[in-house]
Chain A
Amino acid sequence: MTGIDYVVLFAGMGLVTYIPRWLPLLFLSRKRLPQWLIDWLNLIPAAILSALLAPSLFTESAPRALDFGRLELLVAVPTFLFAIRTRSLGGTVLFGMLLYWLAGLAV
């Protein structure tokens, strides 16, 4: 990729990221969404995060195949418990990285 390619790509990513952050704020500061839509949208963050996580824990990527014995999954269990106990974002990231690193050395 050339320099121009990067600028164009990141500008495109920036635009599609900014618009969903910007439009609702601009137009909904006075209006209210229907309750069913609020209830549905409320579940979206949990759904997205889980959908992003699950394949990285339960599958091999090349070729795509189910695998319940991956290091990623083994480390995820204590990391999950750590997150529930501490509720610390920075702490959980560091804890997961440390465990994954140590587990990688041990295997």
Chain B
Amino acid sequence: MPACRSTVAAGEKFSFQQTVIMEKKRILGQGAAAAWPICLGYFPVGLALGVLADQTGIPFWAVGLMSVLVFAGSAQFIAVAMLAAGASAWSIVATTFVVNLRHVLMSSALAVFLPGLRRRFLSLFAYGITDESFAVNMARFRKGRWDWWSALVVNHLSNLAWIVSTMAGSLAGQFIPQGALGIDYALTGMFICLLVYQLRGRIYVLTGVVAAIIATAWYLLVPGNSYIVVASAAAATVGFGAGRLARRKR
């Protein structure tokens, strides 16, 4: 636990046990302070997912199991929609893989800030990498003074909020009529905001516009869900090429 050693030295007048407890409290407190906006954001989305899953006929325990095993908001929404449409398990797993492949980028970027850590820690940390926890942890790592344990707390508090909210939605689902309170729009709203986070410059806007055009055209012309991976790979390539051209002109 190298992250803890540096601060333990500051509290020498306390007994070892006291300092360990204080250190744990500090790590938890910092993590919770960073995680609460994510938990707040997850709650309506998780409730909405639970309600939709319930209306699709997925039992309460299975909703909780899915949140524990998968922990990926958009993929879980898509899986519920595909289950409702009678898709095969194979196609749902394949789509989940494609939708969640973006985590390769986040995991690669986070690896820079987690050098030489034990495999067990990295394995535990990897489980909680999401769009939201990635954005929050990267911002703190870049500022410095952010330890791995607090980052781990962010990941797992978010996970807990997600599991609780999806299961709550599933339980309350039977009392909520279909389409009530605009829950069908929760995923769209989340995607819109996450896209806004990503539009950090002209190249990103161009990539987004190209992806939208290709995805819409591909969706109309080709059956199935291949439009997601085709459009995003093509649009990123176009954006990448445009970025190179712009840099060369300068």
Q: Which residues of A (3-56) have their CB < 8 Å from a CB of B? A: 3, 5-14, 16-18, 20-26, 28-30, 32-33, 36, 38-56
Task: Classify chain A's interface size.
Answer: 35 or more
B247: nearest chain-A partner, CB-CB: A39
B114: nearest chain-A partner, CB-CB: A29
A93 pairs with B232, CB closer than 8 A? no
Within the assembled complex, what's the spacing in Å between the Cα atoms of A49 and B198?
Answer: 9
B191 pairs with A41, CB closer than 8 A? no
Within the assembled complex, what's the spacing in Å between the Cα atoms of A75 and B185?
Answer: 9
B96 pairs with A13, CB closer than 8 A? yes
Within the assembled complex, what's the spacing in Å between the Cα atoms of A48 and B212?
Answer: 9
The residues of A that contact B183 with a CB separation of less than 8 Å are 97
Task: Classify chain B's interface size.
Answer: 35 or more
B199 pairs with A46, CB closer than 8 A? yes
- Say which residue of B70, B196, B211 sits within 8 Å of A83 (CB atoms): B196
Within the assembled complex, what's the spacing in Å between the Cα atoms of A96 and B41?
Answer: 13
Known A-B contacts A5-B89, A29-B114, A39-B240; the reply to A46 vs B207 at CB < 8 A is yes
B40 pairs with A90, CB closer than 8 A? yes
B215 pairs with A99, CB closer than 8 A? no
Within the assembled complex, what's the spacing in Å between the Cα atoms of A33 and B102?
Answer: 15
- Say which residue of A38, A66, A96 sits within 8 Å of B220 (CB atoms): A66
Within the assembled complex, what's the spacing in Å between the Cα atoms of A51 and B226?
Answer: 11
- Say which residue of A16, A23, A47, A79 sits within 8 Å of B207 (CB atoms): A47
A107 adjacent to chain B (CB < 8 Å): no
B204 pairs with A16, CB closer than 8 A? no
B246 adjacent to chain A (CB < 8 Å): no
Interface-facing stretch out of B5-13, B16-24, B120-128, B139-147:
B120-128
Known A-B contacts A47-B236, A72-B188, A89-B132; the reply to A10 vs B101 at CB < 8 A is no
A39 pairs with B216, CB closer than 8 A? no
B104 pairs with A20, CB closer than 8 A? yes
Known A-B contacts A90-B41, A96-B182; the reply to A16 vs B100 at CB < 8 A is yes
Q: How far does the Cβ of A32 sit from chain B's closest Cβ, in whole Å?
A: 8
The residues of A that contact B191 with a CB separation of less than 8 Å are 49, 52-53
Known A-B contacts A18-B127, A51-B215, A89-B132; the reply to A101 vs B208 at CB < 8 A is no
Q: How far does the Cβ of B65 sit from chain A's closest Cβ, in whole Å?
A: 5
Q: How far does the Cβ of A92 sit from chain B's closest Cβ, in whole Å?
A: 4
Known A-B contacts A24-B111, A48-B99, A52-B228; the reply to A9 vs B188 at CB < 8 A is no
Within the assembled complex, what's the spacing in Å between the Cα atoms of A92 and B212?
Answer: 20
Q: How far does the Cβ of A39 sit from chain B's closest Cβ, in whole Å?
A: 6
10 interchain residue pairs of minimum CB distance: A96-B189, A101-B182, A14-B69, A97-B182, A89-B41, A54-B212, A100-B185, A47-B232, A90-B41, A51-B215
- For this complex, 5 residue pairs linking A to B, each with C-beta atoms less than 8 Å apart, are A40-B236, A47-B236, A50-B195, A75-B185, A93-B45
Q: Which residues of B contact A (CB under 8 A)?
A: 37-38, 40-45, 48, 58-59, 62, 65-66, 69-72, 74-75, 79, 83, 89, 92-93, 96-97, 99-108, 110-112, 114-117, 119, 122-123, 125-127, 129, 131-132, 179-186, 188-199, 203-204, 207-216, 219-220, 227-228, 231-233, 235-237, 239-240, 243
